[in-house]
Structure 1
């Protein structure tokens, strides 16, 4: 549960929001252990995406494997430790390794083919410790996606051979989404769209969206994370809201990473928010402009809600949770609900909501829409499957 008075009147759920998988060892050993533990979920998730690749992008299974092989080569060249983990995952789960890489490239394969097919989702927010009640750096987001994916999620904890710990929400068969690590680094993610996205002819194949995300999450510092994000060749646009705990309230940095370029944003008055459109002055076309949607106001509203609270009293976890429960513009609100008027392929809602207390090294997870569920807390150093 959120430890603050403002959240006590919400319904509480006692079931774990997602299966917890905890593995340790070398990257290959962590991947294999994860694959064995989640074999059924990985196979199920893979089959769901194979159908989406066929129906939405016109990709046969053979074409998916060819693309996956290309992404595998790029991943091994850029981030060999992450690639070793994915190879081990495929072996442990008993699925084709090229299909695992295609799964981790689902953004490139789905939205490279139809970049205007959906209005994105996800609202992320961070508050420096200088504006919080206990001085802790707080980070969090609502993850908006197709509701069918809710039951193929895991909470993955890895401890590598050097003792570095990562705790992250992930789609089964992937290695990261929103999460934090033992260095006090946290990552939230938003989908972006630009006119450079996709596997265009003559463009070098890049690292899949979710491989890049895992590599960032394994960084030991905010500066190292920004190096990973900026230096990795990529074919899809991604927004990374990064935070690291430390003296004077820690630090926040937002990176808008598009193929061939990066923009960045800093907190204003200790607060930083982001949704699904570009806010820095990048010289690319923001394809999210093509269809409007709630991204045009969600980040601004989240910031205004947090500033209003911070101006009255220091912010706490309940305040951040309340922002992620906001219903202005329902169903396309910060707390997104299913809109039956959308085509089935474009339907989405807040599937999970995540809160990160980076100083305490803990993660709060609520099934979505989060207005209907309480956050269950997981300590980085004490998570068991």
Structure 2
């Protein structure tokens, strides 16, 4: 069951879509309910695929079909749901899978830009163990930074499957997850990464697991270990960072997982706090392409740790502390709270589109339109 804290969804900045049943049925009902938004999102990305990656519609569909085969093999439940989305929305299956592989298609072609999230990185995530929060609850959150046009093509997707697992996640329409949590107390935040191994295969071998399929697979797990295993399964063509947590005894647990093609690294909390931005921190042996450009990622993660440090050491971090962190303007407009830099070309602009807070013990998700410095968080509760 999903409910808003005050019994209404009217104040939330994103439409809520609730479905229940088997993966296929959940996907179909989602596709029907979000048909217009999915169509709008496909239009946005088909344009980006054409302009930024040189892919026409036929090439997009062919690529999507290849990603579908990988998804069916490695994450069949996710594939069943995506097949249902395509049927319910009345769009091609290949287009839906290409949408869910938008990171690989935009950044994985030979003509794609070599840096992440526009020109300067984007997204800052933070987690605090329950041993260091005022409530004793494990808290996660992030700013999701991307092109401002994306704001109008988003949903909060709530699914309850035939196993009884409920998932609540922010998602681009037609996708199944980005940041979110489930009824087992597992939560996921995400940051884009980049390394010299990124790129689609050119030798005819099948593509790896799409970035956004991997996110949904992690949220389908009923334990932190299960989410970790799901995220590691199969090969990858794009680098991705997952800040994973699960509520539980002694403040729960957090781990940060840096996934690159062919390798992985991980980080553990220090003094109860774990943060991440868009550069590699674990020492995994690849060339971090953020080093080729620089940008705000190089200080955002460290600043987030420092800003949370005093309250964490006192064991008093609150949701308000995280909200204040995500509104931080150091190095404005290239800050944790990212604002559009009018000097950037329109296609390269980025800002905090939405900010999300997760309470993994009370199973609550808070969301604010971005940049969050000027918006309140609306909350939804997820009951087991």
TM-score, length-scaled by structure 2: 0.94
Distance (Å, rounded) in 2 between the aligned partners of 1:345 and 1:63? 22
Q: Which residue of 1 aligns with 2:77?
A: 81
For residues 1-385 of structure 1, the aligned pairs below 5 Å read 15-112=11-108, 113-116=112-115, 118-202=119-203, 204-312=206-314, 314-381=316-383
Deviation sequence 1:136-157 (CA, Å, 0-9, x none): 0000000000000001000000
Q: 1:313 to 1:211 in 2, by over 3 A?
A: closer
Contact 1:212 1:232 in 2 (8 A): no
Question: RMSD of aligned C-alpha atoms?
Answer: 1.4
- For residue 14 of structure 1, report the CA deviation from its aligned partner: 6.3
Preserved CA contact (<8 Å) 1:124 1:141: yes
Mark the CA change 1:35 to 1:15 in structure 2 (over 3 Å): closer, same or farther: same
Where 1:267 maps in the other structure, the secondary structure is: coil
Q: 1:270-289 CA distances to partner (integer Å, 9 max, x unpaired)?
A: 00000000001111111111
Aligned partners of 2:121 and 2:296 also within 8 Å: no
Q: Distance in 2 between matches of 1:33 and 1:170?
A: 15
More displaced stretch, 164-173 vs 192-201: 192-201
Give the whole-Å Cα distance in 1 for the aligned partners of 2:18 and 2:325: 30
Q: List per-residue Cα deviations over 1:41-61 (Å, max 9, x = no partner).
A: 000100110001001111111
Deviates more, 1:79-88 or 1:232-241: 232-241
Give the alignment's TM-score, normalised by structure 1. Answer: 0.94
Contact 2:271/2:312 (8 A) holds in 1: no
For residues 314 and 245 of structure 2, what CA distance do their matches in structure 1 show?
Answer: 24
Q: Which runs of 4+ in 1 moved over 6 A?
A: none
Kept after mapping to 1: 8 A contact 2:70/2:206: no
Q: C-alpha displacement at 1:313, in angstroms? A: 5.5
- Structure 2: tracts of 5 or more residues without a match: none
Q: Gaps spanning 5+ residues in structure 1: where? A: 4-12
Q: Give the aligned partner of residue 8 of structure 1.
A: none
> Which segment is superposed worse, 53-62 or 199-208?
199-208
How many residue pairs get aligned? The number is 371
Deviation at 1:132, TM superposition (A): 0.4
State the SS of the aligned residue for 2:88. Answer: helix
